[in-house]
Amino acid sequence: MFHQPGCFRSVGTQLEQGRCFGCKALFLDLLTYRPLSNQIALDFDVEHESPQAIMIYRGAPVYIQSHYGIDLAAIRQASEKCVAAKN
């Protein structure tokens, strides 16, 4: 997940996403790690936005949303699909 520490919505989203569903959540501070953020956007062919949630499974993004499109229920559903595919 990309976020900017000074953005209220971004911080709120970061806290919400801490309740992840059987997956490891990583947070990237864009102000400190802009080159890494740019590389992630390039590697996964996603347009960079902040805040942004990207779920990656087996090397491919399975969930990409930003701003108010970030939905915990949709993240849970994507996570459950990945767990089911793993089994």
Tokens of 74: 């949709």
Angle at 54 between CA 24 and CA 36, to 5 degrees: 90
Convert the pLDDT of each residue in 3-50 to its tens digit.
Answer: 555 554 554 555 455 555 667 777 788 889 999 999 999 999 998 888
Phi, psi of 39 (to 5 degrees): -65, -40
Flag whether the pTM goes above 0.85.
Answer: no
pLDDT number for residue 11 = 45
Q: How many domains does the chain have?
A: 1
Domain span at residue 46 reads 2-86
Q: What is the CATH number of the domain that holds 6?
A: 3.40.30.10
